Structure 1
Amino acid sequence: MEPVALIEPTVRGVAVTNLWEQVVLPLRARHDVLVSLANSGPVIARRHVVAIHDTAHWDHPEWFSLPYRIKARSLNRSWARTASHLLCPSETVATNISRWLGRDAADITVVGNGHRWRGPMPEPAHERRPFVLAVGTISTRKNLGALLAAWPMVRRERPELTLRIIGADGGHNFAGSAHRVDDPSIEYLGYVSDAALDQLIVEATSFVSPSLYEGFNIPILDALTAGTPVAASDIDVHRELFDGACSFADPTDPTALAASVLDASAATVAPATRDELRRTHSWAMVAHRIESALEGVRRGT
């Protein structure tokens, strides 16, 4: 692997940092390939590889504020014209990039994402605690409203279960959010530390992700690689990445979602499935795929 240099802003403040990113950063990176991995980067750079994590602001503009939508779409259009190569986390996103931005499939590399576990992999808990875990921003696309509507049906069958929701409010970039329900069996944990999240994932009876849209969904990967059963929305990217590993449900049907949570809460993750996901979705594998894309840009292929 070629040496990698981290170029950090030398200024502070949103407006000044944005200007630095557009003017100074491409000049400092002009002698090699510039890699922008966080949905941000200069619109003009000599050799520029850009990661686009999803196309939600194209597919579902109603979920986002107008200022955010304008900025995100403008950046995407500029990168589609000027970037040497694009990276994305899934084939689903790659297809959408080609559809919305017109880039050829040969100009896009699917690099995936990695699970959160470093060092020794966690073993599934021998005795799971009686709670279902959900992780996600409190926003329309995460569809927690459907989960909250489904929860009383889950409780009728499994009254010992509680629901723990991790995630902050979506903030000003998002146009809508789920309404919270005052229910003693539901805990809104907000932000938690990495160590606390690790423990919650490993100990949960099951994990649920009712999202209407994702570019990948790392929390599902984290749960499955920890051996925690998952109930997931039946959307294209989840089928692409986790088919055969989750209990799927129509995310717009609370009854189906409740049944999926109950199925997952009575299931186990097959060791072969868990181990295959650990092998194919590590950050080392992601780094290798990115490096292969960079080599192609350096060679001009």
Structure 2
Amino acid sequence: MPHIYVNGRFLGRPVTGVERFAHMVLDRIHDRQPQDGRAPGITILAPPGIDAPAKWPRFAFRTVGSGGGHRWEQLSLPGAARDGILLGLCNANPVRSRRALTVIHDAAVYDFGQGFARSYRLLHRTLGRLLARRSHIATVSRFSQARLAAVLGVKGERIAVIPNAADHIRAITPDETVLERHGLTPGKFLLIVGSFAPNKNLPRAIRAFRAIARPDDRLVLVGAAVRSFADNAMGAVPEGVILPGRIGDEALMTLYAHARALVFPSLYEGFGIPPLEAMQFGTPVVASTIAPVREVCADAALYCDPEDEAALGAAMRQMLDDDDVHARLSAAARARALAFDWDDSATRLLDTLAAIG
């Protein structure tokens, strides 16, 4: 296999879903380096100001060019990777690099443009079309494969599918103190992990909870600040809604493990990582009926129309009250979580790179 250069711009950003994908697949490839004959030589190329990650000593690391952001990516990066394959794991890569693979995680900038600033939307729509035309792209779900093929005008089979996974969370030591800090009883609260981005559908989910909530019911909302309620014309934080603020993975894992269910009411996703994380703990999901969420959750969720507030509330109430449904979905969640594995995703990525040659 040719030498692989990794677009290291993502190392200068906080770790969210897209960056997590990059870290996890590179972790697994790094672990194979001594013994896996298919594993290529890898060099991470980064803009100034980013240090070599200590956790990847078997990868080479090089600072190239000047500046940062898109300008660095388009002007400084192509020349540094000209003798190998350039791998972009977080939605972007130089359009001049024809021997390249870019993982575009979803088609949201085309399908759900109202969730993005106009400048961001125009930039990434143009970038995606150029990358699809000039080099190689991959994505994380069959749904996103189909949507990207349609909006970018390429055949679906040209877009490799390299799924997300969540088995990394098994190595995280939970922080149980988050329960006491917020007065939460294990198995007695619902959990939402998401922001007030339009596709996350949080105002409707919160109204649905308020309509069905009893005095002891709690909805824990991770990822939204108090001011977000005012910004979304919801006023003060409703009774029974708990905001833990910014929390680490250790606290989040505790909430996943002890929630009665995760509520995932999205209007649009490219994959759906929180349900997969929750299912690692056998926590069932009240889920939107959209295709990518069904692809991830399969039979491990209680589905409802994300635009039907009454149906969403009824599903929450059923999950809180019906022990038989909860037990069935909990067992299905544990089984479904086994279908996604970062080692498998790393293998798919290496196979895709090998096919570029």
Corresponding residue for residue 161 of structure 2: 110
Corresponding residue for residue 197 of structure 1: 252
* 1:166 counterpart = 2:225: no
* 1:237 counterpart = 2:288: no
Question: Does the CA contact (< 8 Å) of 1:50 and 1:86 recur in 2?
Answer: yes
Q: 187, 207, 210: which one pairs with 2:242?
A: 187
Q: 108, 115, 134: which one pairs with 2:192?
A: 134
Corresponding residue for residue 149 of structure 2: 98
Tell me the distance in 2 between the aligned counterparts of 1:253 and 1:230.
Answer: 17
| Secondary structure in 1 matching 2:43 | coil
Query: Where does structure 1 lack aligned partners over 5 or more consecutive residues?
Result: 170-175
**CA distance change for structure 1 residues 10 and 271 in 2, over 3 Å: closer, same or farther?**
same
| Secondary structure in 1 matching 2:260 | strand
Tell me the distance in 2 between the aligned counterparts of 1:272 and 1:289.
Answer: 28
**CA distance change for structure 1 residues 22 and 250 in 2, over 3 Å: closer, same or farther?**
same
Corresponding residue for residue 143 of structure 1: 201
Corresponding residue for residue 356 of structure 2: 297
Question: Does the CA contact (< 8 Å) of 2:74 and 2:96 recur in 1?
Answer: yes
**CA distance change for structure 1 residues 87 and 223 in 2, over 3 Å: closer, same or farther?**
same
What is the TM-score of this pair, normalised by structure 1? 0.87
**CA distance change for structure 1 residues 75 and 188 in 2, over 3 Å: closer, same or farther?**
same
Cα RMSD for the two superposed structures = 2.5
Q: Which is worse superposed, 265-274 or 22-31?
A: 265-274
* 1:257 counterpart = 2:312: yes
| Secondary structure in 2 matching 1:42 | coil
Corresponding residue for residue 86 of structure 2: 34
Percentage of pairs with the same residue: 31
Give the number of aligned pairs: 286
| Secondary structure in 2 matching 1:100 | helix
Corresponding residue for residue 111 of structure 2: 59
Query: Where does structure 2 lack aligned partners over 5 or more consecutive residues?
Result: 1-38, 51-65, 177-184, 226-230
1:16 Cα deviation from its structure 2 partner: 3.8
1:180 Cα deviation from its structure 2 partner: 5.6
1:80 Cα deviation from its structure 2 partner: 1.4
Q: Which is worse superposed, 180-189 or 160-169?
A: 180-189
**CA distance change for structure 1 residues 228 and 268 in 2, over 3 Å: closer, same or farther?**
same
Tell me the distance in 2 between the aligned counterparts of 1:276 and 1:259.
Answer: 25
1:69 Cα deviation from its structure 2 partner: 0.9
Q: 9, 23, 42: which one pairs with 2:75?
A: 23
Question: Does the CA contact (< 8 Å) of 1:209 and 1:232 recur in 2?
Answer: yes
What is the TM-score of this pair, normalised by structure 2? 0.74
Q: 44, 56, 61: which one pairs with 2:96?
A: 44
| Secondary structure in 2 matching 1:251 | coil
